C-alpha cells in the first residue's frame, strides 16, 4: 500500500524507517557486517537473561494477589515506569532541540501537527520496544512456571510506554512554557535523570534511615509498609493486578494510558512546531566572561590542556549533569556514612565497593570526554608536543576530577575507619586507571556533544568498562574483609582489563 505523501501514515513510515536505521546503527556501531554478530550477541543475552529471571522471579510464578505480592510487583512496575519516563523525557527534549530534519519539515508545506503526532507516537512505541527485551525474560519465566495469566504483563508494558510518554511530553512542555526554551534543555535532562534514579535512591535512603542497610527489600517487606498500604481491592493495585492476569484491570489500565497519550497528542502536536522554532533560537545569545583576568598565565602545554578540559567541563552544564548524574547514586552511601559515623558497625563494608564502582564509572565518562571528545583534534595534534604528552595531560585532567569528587568522602571515611579508607583509595585509583585505560585503547574521534552516543562506538569498551568497575569494586569489598581473599577477584578484574587490551584496536 502506498501512503499519500504528507499523510500521517506516510510520516509514520518515514519515522519508522529512520528509527530502524538508528537502532541498527546503534547495534552494529554503524557497520552492517557486524549485524550477524550483534544478532548472536542479543540472542545469547536474551537466553542468559532467562536464567537470571528464573533465579530472580521464579518463586513468584504461583503468587496470589495478596498485599505483600502486590507491593513487590507495584514497586517493580513503578521503578520500570520511572525509567521509561526518564527515557521519554530525553527523547522529547531531543525532538525539540535536535535540528537534524526539523528545519526541512518546518520549511515544508506539510501539516506539522501530523508530523509531531507521529513523532510522539513513535516515542511511545520506542519506549515499549526498549522495555520489552528487558522485561520479556521475566514475563516468559512467569508464563512458563505460572501459566498464561502472566501474559497480561505484556499488555501492561504497552500501557506503561504510552503513559510514560504522555507524562514525559506533558512535563517537558510544561517546563518549556514555565522556564523557557533556554533552560528547559538542561533542566529536562536533569529532571529525567533524577526521576530515573529517584525511586531506587529514595528506597535506599529510607532503608538506611529506618534499618541501617542499603537493601531496598527491607523497606518493601516491612510491617510498617504493609500496614500503610491500601487494601487489596484498591485502584492503586490495578497495574500489578493487570500484570498478574486480571483482565478487567488490564483493559482499564490500557484504555486509560492510551486515552492520556491521545489527549496529549491532540493538545501538544499542533504547538510542537512553535516550540521547536523557539528552541532553535537558543544558543544565539552571547555568554560573556568579563570577570576573567585579562593577563595571560604562564603555563606549560600540559597545564594548558588540563585547564582547558576543566573549563570546558565546568562550562557545559548539560555535559556536567550527564557525567555527574552517576554521583546521584553516591547519596545513599553518603547517608549511610553519615548515619553510621562512630557507630563502628559493618556499614563501612558496604561503602567500599560502592565508592570504587562509582569512581570507575565516572572516570570512564570523563576519560571519553577528555580523550575521544576533543572538539579541536587537529589543533591539539598540530601543536609542537609529543602525542604521549597530550594523552598524559588529559589523563591528569580526568584523575584531577576524580580526586575532587572522592577525596572528601574518603577523608570522612578515614576518620571513621582508616583501614576501609585505605582499601577504598586503592580501589578508586585502580578502577579509575582501568576505566581510563580502556577509553584510551578504544579512543575514537568525536564531538563532545556526542557523549550520549559514546557507547555506540564500541560495545566492547562499554561492557569492559562496566565489568572492570564491578570487578575492582568486588575486589575492594573482599579486601576490606580479608586482603588475601581479594587476590581471586583482583585476578579476574585484571583479566578483564588485559583481555580488553588484547581485543582493543590499539593492540590489533
Partner 1 sequence: MISFRDMQHFPPPAFALELHNLVKRFDRPAVDGLDLNVRAGEFYALLGPNGAGKTTTLRMIAGLLRPDAGTIRVAGIDALADPVAAKRVMAWISDEPMIYDKLTPQEYLEFVAGLWCVEPALAERRARELLNWLELAAHAQQRCEGFSKGMRQKVALAGALVHEPRVIILDEPLTGLDAGSARQVKSVLRERVRDGGTIIMTTHILEVAERMADRIGVIAHGKLIAEGTLEELRLRAGKNASASDNASLEDTFLALVAERAEAA
Nearer to partner 1, 380 or 402 (CB): 380
Task: Give the phi and the psi of residue 230 in degrees, each rounded to 5.
Answer: -65, 165
Distance CA 23, CA 29 (A): 10
Nearer to partner 1, 149 or 302 (CB): 302
Nearer to partner 1, 26 or 282 (CB): 282
Distance CA 354, CA 333 (A): 7
Distance CA 287, CA 306 (A): 22
List, as own/partner pairs, every contact residues 217-222 make where C-beta atoms lie below 8 angstroms and the sequence separation is at least 24, other chains included: 220/71, 220/72, 220/75, 221/68, 221/71, 221/72
Burial 23-46 (b: 16+ CB within 10 A, else e): eeeebbeeeeeeeeebeeeeeeee
Residues in the chain: 508
Distance CA 200, CA 79 (A): 7
User: Closest distance between partner 1 and the C-beta of residue 298, in Å?
Assistant: 5
Nearer to partner 1, 344 or 377 (CB): 377
Distance CA 153, CA 136 (A): 9
User: Closest distance between partner 1 and the C-beta of residue 363, in Å?
Assistant: 22
User: Closest distance between partner 1 and the C-beta of residue 382, in Å?
Assistant: 4
User: Closest distance between partner 1 and the C-beta of residue 211, in Å?
Assistant: 45
Closest alpha carbon to 75 in 213, 216, 246: 216
Nearer to partner 1, 368 or 467 (CB): 368
Distance of alpha carbon 296 from its chain centroid, rounded?
40
Angle of the 152-211 helix axis to the 112-146 helix axis, nearest 10: 80
Distance CA 397, CA 26 (A): 29
Q: Which chain residues interact with partner 1 by CB under 8 A?
A: 283-290, 292, 294-301, 303-305, 307-308, 311-312, 315-316, 375-386
User: Closest distance between partner 1 and the C-beta of residue 387, in Å?
Assistant: 9
CA distance to 35, 80, 355, 442, 453, per residue, from 42 (Å): 10, 21, 31, 22, 19
Nearer to partner 1, 1 or 298 (CB): 298
User: Closest distance between partner 1 and the C-beta of residue 296, in Å?
Assistant: 4
C-alpha cell, 255: 484504555
Nearer to partner 1, 288 or 482 (CB): 288
Nearer to partner 1, 14 or 183 (CB): 183
Classify the C-alpha dihedral 46-50-51-53 as positive or negative: positive
User: Closest distance between partner 1 and the C-beta of residue 24, in Å?
Assistant: 24
Q: Are 219 and 210 in contact (CB under 8 A)?
A: yes
DSSP 488-500: HHHHHHHHHHHHH
User: Closest distance between partner 1 and the C-beta of residue 391, in Å?
Assistant: 14
Nearer to partner 1, 64 or 382 (CB): 382
User: Closest distance between partner 1 and the C-beta of residue 297, in Å?
Assistant: 6
User: Closest distance between partner 1 and the C-beta of residue 398, in Å?
Assistant: 18
Nearer to partner 1, 400 or 499 (CB): 400
Distance of alpha carbon 473 from its chain centroid, rounded?
19
Amino acid at each position: 500500500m502506498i501512503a499519500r505523501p504528507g499523510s500521517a501514515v506516510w510520516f509514520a513510515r518515514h519515522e519508522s524507517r529512520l528509527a530502524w536505521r538508528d537502532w541498527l546503527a546503534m547495534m552494529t556501531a554503524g557497520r552492517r557486517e557486524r549485524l550477524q554478530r550483534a544478532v548472536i550477541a542479543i540472542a545469547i543475552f536474551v537466553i542468559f537473561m532467562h536464567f537470571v529471571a528464573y533465579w530472580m522471579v521464579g518463586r513468584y510464578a504461583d503468587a496470589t494477589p495478596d498485599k505483600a505480592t502486590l507491593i513487590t510487583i507495584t514497586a517493580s512496575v513503578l521503578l520500570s515506569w520511572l525509567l521509561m519516563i526518564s527515557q521519554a523525557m530525553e527523547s522529547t527534549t531531543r525532538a525539540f532541540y535536535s535540528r537534524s530534519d526539523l528545519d526541512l519539515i518546518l520549511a515544508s508545506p506539510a501539516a506539522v501537527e501530523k508530523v509531531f503526532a507521529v513523532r510522539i507516537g513513535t516515542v511511545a512505541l520506542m519506549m515499549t520496544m526498549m522495555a520489552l527485551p528487558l522485561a520479556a525474560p521475566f514475563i516468559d519465566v512467569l508464563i512458563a512456571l505460572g501459566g498464561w495469566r502472566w501474559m497480561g504483563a505484556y499488555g501492561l508494558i504497552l500501557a506503561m510506554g504510552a503513559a510514560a510518554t504522555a507524562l514525559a511530553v506533558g512535563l517537558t512542555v510544561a517546563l518549556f512554557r514555565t522556564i523557557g526554551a533556554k533552560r528547559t534543555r538542561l533542566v529536562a535532562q536533569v529532571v529525567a535523570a533524577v526521576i530515573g534514579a529517584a525511586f531506587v535512591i529514595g528506597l535506599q535512603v529510607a532503608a538506611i534511615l529506618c534499618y541501617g542497610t542499603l537493601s531496598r527489600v527491607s523497606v518493601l517487606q516491612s510491617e510498617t509498609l504493609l500496614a500503610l498500604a491500601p487494601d487489596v481491592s484498591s485502584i492503586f493495585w490495578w497495574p500489578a493486578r493487570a500484570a498478574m492476569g486480571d483482565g478487567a484491570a488490564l483493559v482499564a489500565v490500557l484504555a486509560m494510558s492510551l486515552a492520556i497519550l491521545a489527549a496529549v497528542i491532540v493538545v501538544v502536536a499542533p504547538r510542537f512546531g512553535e516550540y521547536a522554532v523557539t528552541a532553535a533560537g537558543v544558543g544565539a545569545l552571547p555568554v560573556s566572561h568579563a570577570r576573567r583576568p585579562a593577563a595571560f598565565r604562564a603555563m606549560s602545554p600540559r597545564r594548558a590542556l588540563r585547564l582547558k578540559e576543566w573549563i570546558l567541563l565546568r562550562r557545559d552544564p548539560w555535559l556536567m549533569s550527564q557525567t555527574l548524574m552517576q554521583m546521584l547514586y553516591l547519596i545513599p552511601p553518603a547517608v549511610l556514612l553519615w548515619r553510621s559515623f562512630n557507630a563502628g558497625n559493618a556499614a563501612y563494608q558496604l561503602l567500599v565497593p560502592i565508592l570504587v564502582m562509582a569512581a570507575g564509572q565516572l572516570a570512564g565518562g570523563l576519560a571519553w570526554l577528555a580523550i575521544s571528545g576533543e572538539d579541536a583534534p587537529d589543533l591539539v595534534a598540530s601543536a609542537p608536543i609529543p602525542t604521549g604528552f597530550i594523552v598524559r595531560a588529559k589523563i591528569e585532567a580526568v584523575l584531577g576530577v576524580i580526586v575532587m569528587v572522592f577525596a572528601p568522602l574518603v577523608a570522612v571515611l578515614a576518620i571513621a575507619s582508616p583501614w576501609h579508607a585505605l582499601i577504598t583509595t586503592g580501589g578508586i585509583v585502580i578502577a579509575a586507571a582501568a576505566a581510563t585505560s580502556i577509553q584510551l585503547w578504544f579512543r575514537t574521534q568525536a564531538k563532545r556533544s556526542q557523549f550520549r552516543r559514546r557507547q555506540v562506538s564500541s560495545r566492547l569498551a562499554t561492557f569492559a568498562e562496566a565489568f572492570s568497575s564491578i570487578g575492582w569494586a568486588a575486589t575492594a569489598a573482599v579486601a576490606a574483609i580479608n586482603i588475601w581473599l581479594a587476590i581471586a577477584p583482583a585476578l579476574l578484574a585484571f583479566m578483564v582489563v588485559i583481555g580488553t587490551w588484547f581485543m582493543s584496536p590499539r593492540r590489533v
